[in-house]
Amino acid sequence: MKPIAELIKTPVAEKSRKTERGELMRFFSRHLNHARYTDGFSPISMGRMGKILEGIPTDDLYYLQSVCTKAANFSKRFWWEVDPKKHLPENVARYEQRFKNARR
């Protein structure tokens, strides 16, 4: 007679290494690499994407995802949002002024 443990096999849950931050990194790299491929540049690796996004909290990555998805040019918006020099008060005012002139 076989032991009950052999007769009733419980599925062993595999430990998943997926994280929400990793999924967001994959999302950004997929969209940026698509644009880079059409422009003739080499793709961004996951390691490089991790280095670019390392100082940004996960909640802010969700904001970045929504802003970039709504933008006409995903890549251009992504790089503008990630660069901290672009967010100085004088640069923001110049950007807003140029945006108002373009909408007329």
Question: How confident is the model at residue 61, as a pLDDT?
Answer: 93
Phi, psi of 15 (to 5 degrees): -75, 120
pTM, 2 dp: 0.69
Cβ atoms of residues 84 and 41 within 8 Å? no
Q: Which residues contact 53 (CB under 8 A, 6 or more apart)?
A: 24, 25, 28, 61, 82
Residue pointed to by tokens 């540049």: 41
Q: For residue range 9-30, what is the model confidence (pLDDT) as tens digits? A: 777 677 777 889 999 999 999 9
Nearest CA-CA partner of 64 in 51, 48, 80: 80
Six-digit token string for 2: 């076989």
- Count Cβ neighbours within 10 Å for each residue of 24-50 and write b for 16 or more, e otherwise: bbeebbebbbeeeeeeeeeebeeeebe
Instruction: Inform me whether the pLDDT recorded for 104 exceeds 60.
Output: no
pLDDT tier for residue 4 given thresholds of 50, 70 and 90:
confident
